[in-house]
Copies of this chain bind each other. A is one copy, B any other.
């Protein structure tokens, strides 16, 4: 029995990343309905919007779902109270220390996973009592670790550092890459980009369309002096990149960045001035499809892939 399937009571160990501006109730419920684990992305929701999406997810599916909570969110007490009041069964936390909220959530019967970018953070997760770890590599979209460790190098290191159920993230968009993640020592995968482009994603159609046209090298990790984030190389990125190349300070970069650019790009479709977060695997995504088609293909490809591996 797969420990990730067992822990979350799901059919396939495929988790949909709780991405800002993409992961509302439509996406999360579609993934859970198709046998994976759907996550609402609290990082781009006001607390009452989150409550509304929890209700709508429950109306759309009776299967388990979760919420992704970036722990640096300003209204954390309110968010956590809503999650507890609404009896959300599963929470994925990221962007912060697992020490502060894990115990509080565990007391309330919530299953907790935490996202890390290095094995030393995985050890802290284990100490904090989390139930599962997501280890996310450098190729992932959006916010990203400072060590730049790739999924290939990261998963075996985290596997060695902890015995907890382990979910791989970053660079995964096919059955082949799920098989690779499993070979590296993961027991499940978290997939972002591929679901960001799905029909049920709440991202702007122009953002999805742009992603289907990207090639290798069309994303890059930017804003390393602030918080590293992988972005599409659009006009806004070029502005940031030029400033970084010429040695801009944290403060200067903050000024160029301003506020609300992820919303502007991903949700409102301003492809020039928005912050367009997506992973390197966007180069392999060439169509917008329904979640159920995506998950069926992933499972079929995975089974075909492992069937073809032969001993040396």
Q: Are A12 and B170 in contact (CB under 8 A)?
A: no
Using CB atoms, name the residue of chain B closest to A13: B312
A181 an interface residue at 8 Å Cβ cutoff?
Answer: yes
A150 in complex: contacting residue of B146, B246, B280, CB < 8 Å: B280
A223 an interface residue at 8 Å Cβ cutoff?
Answer: no
Interface size class of A (residues with CB under 8 A): 35 or more
A254 an interface residue at 8 Å Cβ cutoff?
Answer: no
| Assembly CA distance A132 to B151 (angstroms) | 25
A148 an interface residue at 8 Å Cβ cutoff?
Answer: yes
Q: Are A152 and B179 in contact (CB under 8 A)?
A: no
Q: Are B149 and A151 in contact (CB under 8 A)?
A: no
A97 an interface residue at 8 Å Cβ cutoff?
Answer: no
Q: Identify the stretch in A81-89, A104-112, A298-306 within 8 Å (CB) of chain B at 4 or more residues.
A: A298-306
| Assembly CA distance A180 to B154 (angstroms) | 13
| Assembly CA distance A156 to B176 (angstroms) | 8
Q: Are B171 and A176 in contact (CB under 8 A)?
A: no
Using CB atoms, name the residue of chain B closest to A174: B156
Q: Are B170 and A152 in contact (CB under 8 A)?
A: yes
| Assembly CA distance A305 to B248 (angstroms) | 46
A157 an interface residue at 8 Å Cβ cutoff?
Answer: yes
With A216-B149, A284-B156 as contacts: A306 and B303 at CB distance below 8 Å: no
Q: Identify the stretch in A61-69, A182-190, A195-203, A259-267 within 8 Å (CB) of chain B at 4 or more residues.
A: A182-190
With A137-B152, A149-B216, A312-B12 as contacts: A284 and B157 at CB distance below 8 Å: yes
A210 an interface residue at 8 Å Cβ cutoff?
Answer: no
Interface bits A133-160 vs B (CB < 8 Å: 1, else 0): 0000111000000111111111011011
A94 an interface residue at 8 Å Cβ cutoff?
Answer: no
A85 CB → nearest B CB, Å: 35
Q: Are B150 and A139 in contact (CB under 8 A)?
A: yes
User: A-side interface residues toward B, CB under 8 Å?
Assistant: 2, 12-13, 118-120, 137-139, 146-154, 156-157, 159-160, 170-172, 174, 176-177, 179-185, 215-217, 220-221, 225, 245-248, 279-281, 283-284, 299, 302-303, 305-307, 309-312
> What are 29 inter-chain pairs, A to B, with CB distance below 8 A?
A13-B312, A118-B216, A120-B215, A137-B150, A138-B150, A139-B150, A146-B217, A147-B216, A148-B220, A149-B217, A149-B283, A150-B151, A152-B170, A152-B171, A152-B172, A152-B177, A153-B171, A153-B216, A153-B279, A153-B283, A153-B284, A156-B177, A180-B184, A183-B309, A245-B247, A303-B311, A303-B312, A306-B309, A306-B310
